Amino acid sequence: MYRTAMTDAAPTPMMAQYFTLKAEAPDCLLFYRMGDFFELFFDDARTASAILDIALTARGEHAGQPVPMCGVPAHSAEAYLARLIKAGQRVAIAEQVESPAEAKARGSKSLVARAVVRVVTAGTLTEEALLDSRAANWLVAIGEAAGGLGLAAVDVSTGRFELAAITGATLDAELARLNPAEIVVAEGSGFDGLARPREGFDSARAETRLKTLYGVATLDGFGSFSRPELAAAGGLLAYLDHAGKGTLPFLQPPERRLAGGTMMIDAATRESLELTRTAQGNRAGSLLDIVDRTVTGAGARMLGADLAAPLVDRAAIAARLGLVRFFAEDQTTRDAMRASLRALPDVGRALGRLAAGRGSPRDLGQLRDGLSAARSLRGALAASAALSPLLAELLPLLDGHGALIDQLAVALVPSPPIDAAQGGYIAEGYDAALDELRATGGDGRRAIAALEARYRESTGIGALKIKHNGVLGYHIEVPARHADALMAADSGFTHRQTLAGVVRFNAPDLHDVASRVTQAGAHALAAEAAHLEALIALAMESAAPIAATANALARLDVAAGLAARAIEGGWCLPAFADHPCLEIEGGRHPVVEASLARAGDRFVANDCKLSPERRLWLVTGPNMGGKSTFLRQNALIAVLAQAGSYVPAARARLGLVDRLFSRVGASDNLARGRSTFMVEMVETAAILAQATPQSLVILDEVGRGTSTYDGLAIAWAVVEAVHETNRCRCLFATHYHELTRLAERLDGLSLHHVRAREWKGDLVLLHEISDGPADRSYGLAVAKLAGLPPPVIARAKSVLAKLEAGRAATGGLAAGLDELPLFAAAAAAEEEKVDALRDALDAIDVDALSPREALELIYRLKALAAE
């Protein structure tokens, strides 16, 4: 549209500048700075006004048509940016890069120069107002090279940087782990994401760029990165260059994620288990939400990462658990440390804003306060270092910033402001020249106040005031009814401006004093800005150690929070075995237990014992009996244990799980043209293709989405494959009672059921796991419990009786179906019988019956029910 518009008619200088800037970011909304506002034009204005619900106006004409326009105040732009980014938009910020005075110096009609200084995208945010303090904000790039795939991920707000070699099969799992805010891919790659020029994904250029960035001759110190990983890193850096207009954010040294370094959990399993967010995408109600007792945003982010990627290194798990155990056993130290952590600022994100060129004096103050508190915390924990190897590793990372802390302490006021433009953040006594400028400005302001009093006395105008604005500077303002006295040629005042109700004047002595105040103020602001720049540069010299301190504080917060959660819930310290087992006593589902507790109910704990000899449990029982909860809780216990947490059980011992699979529940995927059954089969196929003897698999109702014979056959074959081929630990819940016959043929299969009882015609679900198969499915009882109408239940009983009789006689399910009456007739007969019996019961006068009459009545009612 913009190119066409330019050819229709010669644009004004401002529109020509706008079109040039828009061409730099054609896929973004352009925030064009005009004074105190960011303005949007043409289609950008239409889009933004609809999203932000602000007025769409017009400004002048272009190509014979009014130019659509809307705008937002620059001082509150972050709130509008947040809404636009949440709506999926990307925003280019075009700022004024010179003052009006500088533009005028180039010529009286020169336009103020503007430039796109930043592209705001969902994956490159650093501002507090635009981020969730308790969630990481990942930007991901996918690269291809040498026939392989690589993934690069960075959280720009903290600088955390990861590289990994992946495959097409593991890509979805990695993306599900990270839940990225934005994905960048090479043009023509075929992957979903924002397409960027392919040259940015060159692995050789990326290697050179990384060496330069970190000032090293080789990357071997960070890891042996493959060409696909470097290609992904190149694409990521190129995109960050584009978004920051040449200014890269702080990036910690890249951490290489090794295949098999953490528990592999695919996207379907994450959604099924709701590890960090529910199926609806919410944090509330997830495992992370229920476990999280951290007191800092950084701790919450680290806990989310831990649960998303449980460890498979036994020593690393033991180190985390050892630190949690230390805090669990020492309540005094735990409570004191958590109180200290609660008062800490978010050091990592403050550092990220400063490195990205978006920092403020307050961010420097947060570094000062956070690093100082970390140093104090080390002193408080020093005596306990011997009690935890991980604590001994973390404590040195909390110190080492003494010179920076001292410098910031003397340079900054106690509570620095966010806005540097107004000054006032450099402490008195830090710079004598700055103090003198401030004193000059202060003396000038006192002189102006004295002038105001003198002018009132000399003119007799009590309403006279000396004011200041950005156009006139300092000036004298009087009500219009008093202006005539100052208009006289010999008054000593010079007329400047007449407005409705007031008239404004200048005077020579006011001009002299105002010049001194203005010059002193401008020089003071410039001096503070220079100090701010120097202090930021000083902090950036220690960026890597500061990031390490922030990570150490987060790890302490995670460990103390997990300890608090363990004490609160009565959780146990898990133990690990050298062989694949899962031995849980009194295991509970933490999310379901918390939900029941809020309702005043108690969760029924259950045991689970998977071993090499009994590695596959076949669990039968009624719907709503708790089979799915039982399956999930054991998977969650494995996740928690390997993430380094206590677990909701009386006792837990397990062999390390390399891969976790959960197929519990399924839904349509209409976007891919997949039915519920197809989704179920795709997920089951992935499990059978990837599960190893060290894996843990939970499967629920495999085969239920098709005909009975097909479903039973599929379930039968899957059980055999899991047992014979994958040979993994598996909990398999089913309604196909025929599968219990497999216990006679499969050595590692063990039968169990969820207990239920019928009492006075109603089903009572006990939610307890017992040995052996269920005696029946209780399907009709569950249907009744769900509220199916009595005629439907009665009809189902009739059909079931015929089916069971036919199967017993001939082995065929269809046997006996032809003898069934039509539904309407059967329902009417059943209803008639029910009504006759009800009528007889209603006619009884219980209090008037003798024992003999009562006995005779029972015989009559029995005969009536049999008719």
Q: Which residues of 752-778 are buried (b: 16+ CB within 10 A; e: fewer)?
A: bbbbbeeeeeebebebbbeeebbeebb
Q: Which residues of 73-97 are buried (b: 16+ CB within 10 A; e: fewer)?
A: eeeebeebbbebbeeebbbbbbebe
Q: What gap in Å lies between CA 549 and CA 325, rounded to an integer?
A: 22
- Which two tokens mark 194? 């924002």
Q: How far is CA 373 from the centre of its chain?
A: 27
DSSP codes of every residue in 485-502: HHHSTTSS-EEEEEETTE
Parallel, antiparallel, or unpaired: how do β-strands 473-479 and 465-469 relate? antiparallel
Residue ranges in 418-542 assigned as alpha helix (H): 432-459, 483-487, 508-540
**569 assigned to a ligand binding site:** no
Q: How far is CA 808 from CA 126, 621, 802, 803, in A?
A: 70, 22, 10, 8
**626 assigned to a ligand binding site:** yes
**580 assigned to a ligand binding site:** no
Is 562:590 a contact under the CB 8 Å cutoff?
no
Is 757:625 a contact under the CB 8 Å cutoff?
no
DSSP state of 417: -
Q: What gap in Å lies between CA 715 and CA 87, rounded to an integer?
A: 43
Q: What gap in Å lies between CA 229 and CA 248, rounded to an integer?
A: 19
Q: How far is CA 233 from the centre of its chain?
A: 23
User: Three-class SS string for 214-250?
Assistant: HCCCCCCCCCCCCHHHHHHHHHHHHHHHHHHCCCCCC
Parallel, antiparallel, or unpaired: how do β-strands 729-733 and 651-655 relate? unpaired
Q: How far is CA 614 from the centre of its chain?
A: 39
Q: What gap in Å lies between CA 482 and CA 460, rounded to an integer?
A: 10
Give the closest residue to 327 by CA, choosing from 504, 131, 555: 555
Give the closest residue to 305 by CA, choosing from 160, 166, 488, 186: 160
**286 assigned to a ligand binding site:** no
Is 487:495 a contact under the CB 8 Å cutoff?
yes
- Which two tokens mark 761? 């015609």
Parallel, antiparallel, or unpaired: how do β-strands 91-96 and 114-120 relate? antiparallel
DSSP state of 426: B
Paired with 38 in beta bridges are 33, 72
Parallel, antiparallel, or unpaired: how do β-strands 29-34 and 91-96 relate? parallel
Is 341:557 a contact under the CB 8 Å cutoff?
yes
Give 717's contacts (C-beta < 8 A, 6+ positions apart): none
**69 assigned to a ligand binding site:** no
User: Three-class SS string for 345-396?
Assistant: CCHHHHHHHHHCCCCCHHHHHHHHHHHHHHHHHHHHHHHHHHHCHHHHHHHH
Q: What gap in Å lies between CA 444 and CA 524, rounded to an integer?
A: 14
Give the closest residue to 324 by CA, choosing from 498, 557, 70: 557
Give 507's contacts (C-beta < 8 A, 6+ positions apart): 451, 455, 476, 492, 493, 494
Q: Which residue has the tokens 């494959």?
A: 721
**13 assigned to a ligand binding site:** no
Give 422's contacts (C-beta < 8 A, 6+ positions apart): none
As annotated, the binding site for ATP includes 621-628
- Indicate the annotated binding residues: 621-628
